[in-house]
Amino acid sequence: MLYHYIYLTTLIILALMLFACLIRAVRGPRVADRIVAVNMMGTMVMVMIAVLALMLNEGYLVDVCLIYAMISFLAVVIISKVYIGVYEERLHRTQSADDTAADTEGGMSDGSI
């Protein structure tokens, strides 16, 4: 019974800190801020799943936690790579448009993130 209360307290504290992470993910001024916050949320959810695995006495939830770790890592790497590619392509297109026709482009090249 004592273990149950320890697990419950841990889960409540982690849930509160998860909300703080979510605030940073919403407010973050740059894209990298949001990805860092989402990565932190993934880490905390991993701890929550591991605590639940011991609390409910279900061993297979630890497997879920391991898969979650791998998918979270993969998501961060792929989102970063895709964003770098999109940014460079947009930059290249803007530069080539500037070179060829300086006055014919509209609101395409504002460069906002």
Partner 1 sequence: MGAFEWIRLIAGSICLACGLFIFFTEIFGIFHFRYVLNRMHAAAMGDTLGIGSCLLGLIIFSGVNFTSLKLLLIIIFLWFASPVSSHVLSRLEASTNENLEEHCTVYPDLQTLEAELAGREARAKEPDGFEEKGGAL
Residue 113 within binding range of partner 1, rule CB under 8 A = yes
41 touches partner 1 by CB under 8 A: no
| DSSP for residue 103 | S
Say whether residue 44 binds partner 1 (CB under 8 A).
Answer: yes
For the bound state, the minimum distance from the C-beta of residue 41 to partner 1, rounded and expressed in Å, comes to 11
Among 15, 88, 95, 108, binds partner 1 (CB under 8 A): 88
Kindly report the backbone phi and psi dihedral angles of residue 106, in degrees, each rounded to the nearest multiple of 5, phi listed first.
-95, -120
Backbone angles phi, psi at 101, to 5 degrees: -130, 105
**70 in contact with partner 1 (CB under 8 A):** yes
* Closest separation in Å from C-beta 37 to partner 1: 7
Q: Which residues, 6+ apart, have CB-to-CB distance to 4 below 8 Å?
A: 55
Instruction: Figure out which of the listed residues 32, 56, 92, 93 binds partner 1, where binding follows CB under 8 A.
Output: 32
CB 46 within 8 A of CB 65: yes
Number of residues this chain uses to bind partner 1 (CB under 8 A)? 46
83 lies in the binding site for partner 1 (CB under 8 A): yes
Binder among 39, 94, 97, 109 for partner 1 (CB under 8 A): 39
Please return the burial class of 78, using the count of CB atoms within 10 Å of its CB with bins 0-12, 13-18 and 19+: exposed
